[in-house]
Amino acid sequence: MKHIWGMMAAGAWLALSAPVLADVKTGVDAWQQGDYAKAIREWRPLAQAGDPDAQFNMGQAYKLGRGVQADLSTAIDWYRKATAQGHLRAEDNLGLLMFQQGDRAGAMSYLQRASMRGEPRAQYIVGTALFNGDLVGKDWVRAYALMSRAAASGLAQASTSLTQMDKYIPEDQRRQGLAMAANMDQGKGATFAAADQAPVRAAPASVPTAQLPASTPPAARTAAPAPKPATPRPQVAAATPPRPALPRPSASGGWRVQLGAFGAEANARALWSRLTGKVSGLSAYQPFLVKAGAVTRLQAGPIASSADASRLCIRIKAAGADCMPKKS
């Protein structure tokens, strides 16, 4: 996929770890008040003594250039030290920063683990690599699964890439990928925190987020590598594209999505009203109120294929609602 790697530098957001030790918290408090130099004075001795949260915070400070001169190599060193002690947010950021700095092969093992924890940017990178067969073996089913999860999280680049993948990946492999994505979502659990959030084991206090500076000049990010002749590569624009529309309704489609079952028809109608306000494009579908005894099932359609129904469900689930493809 052309231009796809450079896009990860834009719009990546990072936050400092919340503290476990009181002195780390003192540094976080100072950071929140804009006293970055004091934060560094609090964290540096703790980081040098081996505290993984302080090490992670030092990595963030060197990445953002607050309280210290920005130095991405030093940031990587601090992330690596925290990662060696099992700090998962440090590992996520280590992989992303190594990749942005050009060490794509070295970053891939970290990114693969981050992608399985649910980090959307890592899912985007690993999904792209699996699709193209770059750095890892080609696996279109897993690529589609990871890209689906990244798209469902709201990552615009992933939504665009997923649409391009539809042109190349056979329908049966897309269905397998969607099933794998659903299993990933179920197995992720409620303890996942993205790379730009505080560690699970930390206290709830946090430092405000700041945008990740671009790691390469704009000209380098927009230069397109020559495609490999044997590998079809979807074209992805360097600028962040708009989120693609939902699959279009099909008058002759034999599929629907089921959104819930209710004892009162009014509740089904109320859910439809809420969802059409939250999921852009959903109002283009026809709502069906299917009676089964005392139960009213809310369905939407018609939809052309099971793959389109599954993709629609991913978008609906991302809005916080239940959804299940169903043959009409």
* Domain annotation covers residue 233: no
Please check whether residues 285 and 183 belong to one and the same domain. Answer: no
Domain CATH number, residue 44: 1.25.40.10
Render pLDDT for 176-203 as a digit per residue (tens, 0 to 9).
999 999 888 765 533 233 333 332 223 3
* Domain annotation covers residue 124: yes
Render pLDDT for 265-289 as a digit per residue (tens, 0 to 9).
888 888 888 888 878 778 888 888 8
Beta carbons of 321 and 275 less than 8 angstroms apart: yes
Beta carbons of 78 and 112 less than 8 angstroms apart: no
pLDDT given for residue 186 in this prediction: 67
Point out the domain boundary residue: 151, 182, 213: 213
Q: From CA 218, how far away is CA 221, in angstroms rounded?
A: 5
Both tokens assigned to 177:
């990928």
Beta carbons of 87 and 191 less than 8 angstroms apart: no
3-state helix, strand, coil in the chain (%, to 5): 50, 10, 40
Domain CATH number, residue 263: 3.30.70.1070
Please check whether residues 13 and 104 belong to one and the same domain. Answer: yes
Both tokens assigned to 264:
């009162």
User: How many Cα atoms occupy the beta-carbon half-sphere of 222 within 13 Å?
Assistant: 7
Domains: count for the chain: 2
Please check whether residues 307 and 177 belong to one and the same domain. Answer: no
Instruction: Domain of residue 96: give its range.
Output: 6-200+207-213
Render pLDDT for 162-180 as a digit per residue (tens, 0 to 9).
989 999 999 999 999 999 9
Point out the domain boundary residue: 181, 213, 245: 213
* Domain annotation covers residue 218: no
Angle between helices 52-64 and 36-48 (to 10 degrees): 140
Please check whether residues 154 and 300 belong to one and the same domain. Answer: no
